[in-house]
Amino acid sequence: MRLSLSAPLLMAVGMTLSSAALADKVAVITALHAPPLSKSQLAKVYLGRSFERTPVDLPEGHPLRAVFYRAATDSDLTQVRTTWARVMFTGRGEPPRELPDAAAVKAAVAANANVVGYINASMVDGSVRTVMVLP
């Protein structure tokens, strides 16, 4: 006996599997027309060593925040806070602006080519461009 699966069923299974695979991933996003960004540039922006882009953050306590900083900067949140305290003390900059949720991050990024942010990879849509996906 031969089994056949319909195309819509296969598409649904594929979309479910790809969404599940992206659920644990962090997408670094920019506006559609923004220039590319390397991982090194990203780390510098999020650690106050470069001001070529304006970073935005998810709120303190958001589970993706710790994952992002570990993957993007090789630093834990305590190290990041210490770095920003030093940057602020010397008057060289302010930490990334905290936005209330991933939808706000996505909206801020889509509206300004200079802004960079991060969200769950499964939330990316056509309004923003994924420049990298972090584990």
pLDDT in tens, 85-104: 999 999 999 999 999 999 99
Report pTM. 0.82
Q: What is the mean pLDDT of residues 59-75?
A: 96
Q: Please give the pLDDT value at position 22.
A: 52
What is the amino acid identity at position 93?
G
Lookup result for tokens 């958001």? 62
Q: Helical H runs in 23-127?
A: 39-46, 63-73, 77-89, 102-111
Q: What is the mean pLDDT of residues 12-27?
A: 58
Q: Please give the pLDDT value at position 135.
A: 87
Cα atoms found within 13 Å of the Cα of residue 20, Cβ hemisphere only:
6
Domain ranges of the chain: 25-134
State the pLDDT confidence band at 23, using cuts at 50, 70 and 90: low
Q: Residue 22, Cβ neighbours under 10 Å: how many? A: 16
The third-level CATH classification (topology) of the domain covering 25-134 is D-Maltodextrin-Binding Protein; domain 2 (3.40.190)
Tokens representing 7?
Answer: 């195309």
Based on C-alpha coordinates, what's the Rg of the chain? 17
Q: Please give the pLDDT value at position 17.
A: 41
